[in-house]
Amino acid sequence: MQTASFRRTLSSVMLGALAICQTAMGTPNTGSDTAREDVAKTPAARPDAPWWKEAVVYQVYPRSFNDTNGDGIGDLNGITAKLDYLKALGVDTIWLSPHFDSPNADNGYDIRDYRKVMSEFGDMDDFERLLAGMNKRGMRLIIDLVVNHSSDEHRWFVESRRSKDNPYRDYYTWRDGKDGAAPNNYPSFFGGSAWKKDEATGQYYLHYFAGKQPDLNWENPEVRAEVHDIMRFWLDKGVSGFRMDVIPFISKQDGLPDLPAQALAHPEFVYANGPRIHEYLQEMNREVLSRYDTMTVGEAFGITFEQAPLFTDARRHELNMIFHFDLVRLDRDGWRKKDWTLPELKATYARIDRTGGDHGWNTSFLGNHDNPRAVSHFGDDSPEWRAASAKALATMMLTQRATPFLYQGDELGMTNYPFRGLEDYDDVEVKGQWRDFVESGKVSADEYLAHLRQTSRDNARTPMQWSDAPNGGFTTGKPWLAVNPNYPQVNAASQVDDPGSIYHHYRRLLEVRRQTPALIHGQFRDLDPANPKVFAYTRTLDDKRYLVLINFTRETVAYDLPEGLKIAATLLDNGAAQESMQPGAASVTLQPWQATIYRL
Ligand code: NOJ
Ligand code: CA
């Protein structure tokens, strides 16, 4: 819950960290690497931008994408087999969620060997074939860098836990207990304490996520050098960058003091504000990133709007972009779902746009593997409005001044899963929350499950729906997680054949975006922030000006254009419009969930 009062309460905790950030802000890294300087010289609204500003990224969650050997688990060959589908859609970059060797306590976000491919997904030859297939099609690959923590089965941790004097001991954070309990009151995101006692030495190790995900100790220069080596290993293979998992968490608070009581429900604001985060990122940039032509995007959980430029201002030589979670968490308090309003959503977009400024750049996304399905979340997933609202959301997402990140299946309007009981969920987070909230008696099972149905990460992890064949064509075996039963109605095969489908609306939007620099680089302005039904904004670059109108309701809305604006032509509609606009029109009758891009 990132409310104003919550932020105020935490402000004293964060003040120290912020002071350090601001000092760093005033002394930009003026290293002599030319690639980075090119970026710094390229303000956001110029067409000679680096490739990653104009890229369109598609996130693949490999476990659920496409299974080619019938074991019920998606694999790398399955992605290679679908490259033409992605190319035809119009995406040019894939973000691959972790594909590394892992015992899968958290579906690959717990890595046992950073240089090996997860055996369920294939092997290095398969990876290289995937990359070659992408190169052939002019596509780029970015991979997940998960280095806040490793798996407890990584050989570093296997060594580290053996004895206090093991050479790998300092690769992780070990502390003595306090009064027979954990060293401090840090909670884990997956339930219980963030400390686990290890019998071999009687000390505790730190894990912000599951016990099987021990946090790496970035204070140790050897750990940082190992991470840099891993990055070079994959960049030398030809990947084009990284999505960095919970990257702000890598620097831990000095002395690891207890969290103040108010911070316990949202420890991310403290975990994300360690004193050396910007030092580590600048070092990583200097040692590795500046030597390659990369895209970097940080998962910036716990980072406020005010702090965002510290990561993304090109003059600071850290990351290209971060994911802001304020939009997808607009209606959330942890696992609880709250109401949201359109003016709140619009205000969030406007703030995200402002954080980009002239020297930074943003991401635009409405879902990923950690969030519910976009159409169920912000649209209307009833049979009548699912397609129109999914197209309206696509229009909004793809006309922001930011690099868009599509999540697999959203181009088909895939919906949340009709979960019934606890047994339908796979997610490690759900198991931990169940223990903390339901088994402890704090919350009733019914209440928890009612919220979870709408907020669970598993909503986005059900397999891709490729066709109306059994299991949606995802697998010929038993899928690792049940396929949404609506696959006969919602699947790729039928949409690829239907020019009026959600898939084709995405395809057309991506085409229009590619041909219209103003939709990528142009200034964003919300014309009507308080309107509870219509999102109306302009995108302006030099003398080119476009207007986007999106009706977020099931009603027809008569809309007078603000500020005396007049329509010159329609650029792209989502299929809902019933009237064709005459040049000079100053008002529009917006149909339910109509989303139209006009030229002014
Ligand atoms: C964020 C990832 O997106 C999520 O899936 C994972 O569980 C945590 N980080 C821990 O790696
Ligand atoms: Ca498989």
Tens digit of pLDDT for each residue in 402-429? Answer: 999 999 999 999 999 999 999 999 999 9
Best residue for ligand 1 mutational test, from 209, 271, 428 (most atoms within 8 Å of Cβ):
209
d(CA 526, CA 364): 16
Q: Kindly tell me the sign of the dihedral angle through the C-alpha atoms of 119, 122, 124, 130.
A: negative
Our answer on whether the CB atom of 120 is closer than 6 Å to any ligand 1 atom is no
Name all contacts of 510-517 with Cβ < 8 Å and 24+ positions apart: 510/56, 510/89, 510/90, 510/91, 510/398, 511/90, 512/571, 512/572, 512/597, 513/56, 513/398, 513/399, 514/54, 514/90, 516/544, 516/546, 516/571, 517/47, 517/541, 517/544
d(CA 75, CA 127): 10
Note the CATH number of domain 52-149+240-424+458-509.
3.20.20.80
H helical segments located in 425-530: 428-433, 445-455, 458-461, 492-496, 502-515, 517-521
Q: Is 321:296 a contact under the CB 8 Å cutoff?
A: yes
Domains 52-149+240-424+458-509 and 520-597 share a fold: no
Q: Higher confidence at residue 589 or residue 13? A: 589
Say how many Å lie between the CA of residue 430 and the centre of ligand 1: 13
Enclosing H/E stretch for 31: none
Q: What pTM did the predictor assign? A: 0.93
Ligand nearest to the CA of 70: 2
3-state secondary structure at position 332: strand
Q: Is the pLDDT of residue 218 over 50?
A: yes
CA-nearest of 523, 533, 544, 520 to 589 is 533
Domain residue limits, the chain: 52-149+240-424+458-509, 150-214, 520-597
CA-nearest of 319, 386, 396 to 365 is 396
Active site includes 299?
Answer: yes
* CATH number, domain 520-597, options 3.40.50.800, 1.10.443.10, 3.20.10.10, 2.60.40.1180: 2.60.40.1180
Of 299, 313, 381, 410, the catalytic one is: 299
Our answer on whether the CB atom of 146 is closer than 6 Å to any ligand 1 atom is yes
Our answer on whether the CB atom of 370 is closer than 6 Å to any ligand 1 atom is yes
Say how many Å lie between the CA of residue 77 and the centre of ligand 2: 8
3-state secondary structure at position 525: strand
d(CA 76, CA 554): 41
Helices 386-397/502-515 angle, 10° precision: 20
| H helix and E strand count, the chain | 20, 22
Q: Is 166:159 a contact under the CB 8 Å cutoff?
A: yes
* Residue range 164-195, pLDDT digits in tens: 999 999 999 999 999 999 999 999 999 999 99
* Residue range 225-278, pLDDT digits in tens: 999 999 999 999 999 999 999 999 999 999 999 999 999 999 999 999 999 999
Of 67, 92, 245, 268, the catalytic one is: 245
Q: What is the pLDDT of residue 23?
A: 30
Ligand nearest to the CA of 76: 2
d(CA 280, CA 270): 17
Active site includes 423?
Answer: no
CA-nearest of 455, 362, 368 to 408 is 368
Percent of the chain with pLDDT over 70: 92
Residue 514 CB neighbours (<10 A): 14
Which residue in the block uniquely carries the two structure tokens 């894939």?
Answer: 94
Q: Is 324:271 a contact under the CB 8 Å cutoff?
A: no
Q: What is the pLDDT of residue 27?
A: 30
Our answer on whether the CB atom of 246 is closer than 6 Å to any ligand 1 atom is yes
End-to-end CA distance of the chain: 39
CATH 3.30.365.10 fits 150-214, yes or no: no
Our answer on whether the CB atom of 106 is closer than 6 Å to any ligand 1 atom is yes
d(CA 241, CA 288): 11
Average pLDDT over residues 576-587: 94
**pLDDT confidence of 130, banded at 50, 70, 90?**
very high
Q: Is 173:156 a contact under the CB 8 Å cutoff?
A: no
For residues 100-131, one letter each, b for 16 or more C-beta atoms within 10 angstroms of the residue's C-beta and e for the rest, the string is bbbebbbbbbbbbebeebbebbbeeebbeebb
Give residues with Cβ within 8 angstroms of 511, minimum separation 6: 90
User: What are the angstrom distances between the C-alpha of 46 and each of 231, 281, 403, 584?
Assistant: 30, 26, 14, 29
Q: Is 416:453 a contact under the CB 8 Å cutoff?
A: yes
Q: Is 454:372 a contact under the CB 8 Å cutoff?
A: yes
Tokens found for residue 293: 């032509």
Say how many Å lie between the CA of residue 69 and the centre of ligand 2: 5
Residue nearest ligand 1's atom 6 by CA: 109
Our answer on whether the CB atom of 271 is closer than 6 Å to any ligand 1 atom is no
Burial class of residue 340 (count of CB atoms within 10 Å of its CB; 0-12, 13-18, 19+)? middle
Burial class of residue 136 (count of CB atoms within 10 Å of its CB; 0-12, 13-18, 19+)? exposed
Helices 4-26/277-287 angle, 10° precision: 50
* Residue range 1-40, pLDDT digits in tens: 333 333 433 433 333 333 323 333 333 332 233 333 333 3
Give how far the C-alpha of residue 345 lies from the chain's centroid of Cα atoms, to the nearest Å.
17
**pLDDT confidence of 47, banded at 50, 70, 90?**
low
H helical segments located in 27-176: 34-41, 51-54, 76-81, 83-89, 124-136, 155-160
**pLDDT confidence of 48, banded at 50, 70, 90?**
confident
Our answer on whether the CB atom of 427 is closer than 6 Å to any ligand 1 atom is no
Q: Is 39:50 a contact under the CB 8 Å cutoff?
A: yes
Ligand nearest to the CA of 59: 1
Q: Is 94:80 a contact under the CB 8 Å cutoff?
A: no
For residues 10-48, one letter each, b for 16 or more C-beta atoms within 10 angstroms of the residue's C-beta and e for the rest, the string is beebbeebbebbeebbeeebeeeeeebbebbebebbeee
Ligand nearest to the CA of 73: 2
d(CA 340, CA 326): 12
Closest atom of ligand 1 to 148 CA is 11
Residue nearest ligand 1's atom 11 by CA: 109
Tokens found for residue 344: 């709140």
